Structure 1
Amino acid sequence: MPSRLNPYLTFDGDARQAMEFYKEVFGGTLALNTYGEFGEKEAGDAVDKIMHGMLETDSGFTLMAGDVAPGMEFRPGNTISVSVSGEDDDELRGYWAKLSGDGTVSVPLEMQMWGDVFGMCTDSYGITWLVNISGQQS
């Protein structure tokens, strides 16, 4: 298997719900493993929280996530966002509709000066998404 680079998101107890939401958005196969399943002795209240989750889609996307590890501090930040781009207008607009539906739109999905349709939103789990549809005409 070739090397790959993909986002790994950390949540504060709602990784299961977030990953199930992303499966609804992108489709694919979702695997979730809890701290308890891995026999984490220090898990305490985290026994049912997600230690590792991975969503692999038919479009070739891989998204990984987990809940913050027991004993570690959750520190949300704004230093990462996830970009989804391509030429399939219907597919990308569908992702946009679901991701922005209960979220906050910071840049509406519309034609930009570089000639692509682009939008940016933060979903209901606090993750910022950039959607770019290449070479579209208004």
Structure 2
Amino acid sequence: MTVKIYPYLTFKNAKEAMDYYVQSFGAEITYHQSLNEEQAENLGMATDDETLQKTTLRGEFTIAGQKIICADATMGTPQSSALVSIMLNFDNAGQARQLFDRLAASDDQRVTVPFGNWMFSSQMGQIVDKYGITWLITAAANLPQEQ
């Protein structure tokens, strides 16, 4: 059996979050579906076109070629967790450093581990973004590769 795992992120406003990832991480939005009128009504939300266009039933974006799926939190306020982090493992240390430096230069992120030598001849830095999501930015030669 083969299965793929994708990060599935929940936001108060996923459309706004996707725009943030485009600006900060260089993400590319690949899909966006708003709630329809019936779905919004069932959730007790306004059903006018302007409001519906700001909602996200399902969104998809890529960062460094990796797919991330997201949606609006319709069942309450989303909570950040330190239990799960997202690792972006680059083949090229220069590209990893470039993304890390761009993120570290912004007030929207907090550096928790500066980018530098890690273990097994690799490099790593850690950032927590404005939504509380922890990102490990690595260029790690000895991590297991996808098959």
TM-score category of the 2 structures, normalised to the smaller one: 0.7 to 0.9
Q: 1:76 to 1:113 in 2, by over 3 A?
A: closer
Q: For residues 45-102 of structure 1, give each alpha carbon's deviation from its aligned partner in whole angstroms, at most 9, with x where no partner exists.
A: 4743222110146x53101111102x44533322211100022123222322333322
**Identity percentage over the alignment?**
22
Number of residue pairs matched by the alignment? 130
Letter in 2 for 1:33: Q
Structure 1 Cα separation of the partners of residues 118 and 80 of structure 2: 29
Question: 1:134 deviation in Å?
Answer: 2.3
Distance verdict in 2 for CA 1:96–1:29, change over 3 Å? same
The amino acid across from 1:8 in the alignment is Y
Structure 1 alignment gaps of length 5 or more? none
In structure 1, the residue matched to 2:81 is 77
Over the aligned positions, Cα root-mean-square deviation in angstroms equals: 2.4
Report if the CA contact (8 A) 1:23-1:30 is conserved: no
Aligned positions of 1:109-128 closer than 5 A: 109-128=115-134
Match of 1:20 in 2: 19
Cα distance per residue 1:85-135 (max 9 Å; x no partner) = 022123222322333322111100001233211011101222110011124
Q: 2-side partners of 1:92 and 1:133: how far apart?
A: 6
Change in CA separation of 1:28 and 1:42 when aligned onto 2, cut-off 3 Å:
same
Corresponding position: 1:60 with 2:65: yes
Matched, 1:108 2:108: no
In the alignment, the residues of structure 1 paired with residue 95 and residue 38 of structure 2 have an alpha-carbon distance, to the nearest angstrom, of: 40
Structure 1 CA distance, aligned partners of 2:131 and 2:77?
18
Maintained 8 Å contact 2:81/2:133: no
CA distance in structure 2 between the partners assigned to 1:10 and 1:80 by the alignment: 13
Partner of 2:4 in structure 1?
4
CA contact (8 A) 2:122 2:139 kept: yes
* TM-score (structure 2 length as normaliser): 0.73
> What runs of 5+ residues in structure 2 fail to find an aligned partner?
142-147
Q: What secondary structure sits across from 2:57 in the alignment?
A: strand
